[in-house]
Amino acid sequence: MTAISTSRVESVRPRWQAIVMVALIFWLSGSVILDLLVMPSLYVSGMMVSPDFATAGNLMFWGFNRVELICSGLVATGLMVLSNSLSDFGKRSRTAIVLSFVLLAIALVDTYALTPQMSALGMQLNLFDSATEAPAGMNILHQGYFALEALKLAVGGTLLGWCYQNQV
């Protein structure tokens, strides 16, 4: 019986480790592309002062936030499986699980708090007024968003490094 369970654990290990690493790489690279390429190009092109920027931003972030939730769920699940099946993941397994829940919390805050609030602030309700600049409260929300993004990249990079070090 021990031989069956040991061989089964060994077959599960590389699969979940690969799932966690692919999910982290996909998620973090998507975040970097969105934050450092897409959003600055929209800002420079004048999209931020367009009356439709809130609608376009909401559509773009709605989709991306759902992908973030899926990736964070995969990472949390994978790290729980790995910490249960790997003896060499060691002392970091509890910390890794806590960090994966931090990533999940960041994705939840982005999805259900920041994105809807930014969309509501940017929404133009008077069709006869032309938007000249973003509302003042939007800057505070952007700062909070980018602080969470920096934290997400740091925590995700740490988890990715730990998974890479424990690779077979």
User: What is the tens place of the pLDDT at every residue in 41-90?
Assistant: 888 887 777 777 778 888 888 999 999 999 999 999 999 998 887 655 66
How does pLDDT run across 9-40, given as a tens digit for each residue? 556 677 889 999 999 999 999 999 999 998 88
As for how many domains the chain has, the answer is: 1
Distance CA(38)–CA(15), nearest Å, equals 32
How does pLDDT run across 124-147, given as a tens digit for each residue? 666 666 655 666 778 898 899 999
| pLDDT at residue number 57 | 82
78-82, 98-102, 116-120: which has the minimum mean pLDDT?
A: 116-120
Phi and psi torsions of 133, nearest 5°: -155, 165
Distance CA(80)–CA(166), nearest Å, equals 15
6 vs 30, higher pLDDT: 30
| pLDDT at residue number 12 | 64
**pTM of the predicted model as reported, rounded to 2 decimal places:** 0.84
Distance CA(41)–CA(163), nearest Å, equals 33
| pLDDT at residue number 1 | 47
Say whether 40 sits in a helix, a strand or coil.
Answer: helix
CA 160: distance to chain centroid?
13
| pLDDT at residue number 7 | 54
Domain that holds residue 116: 2-165
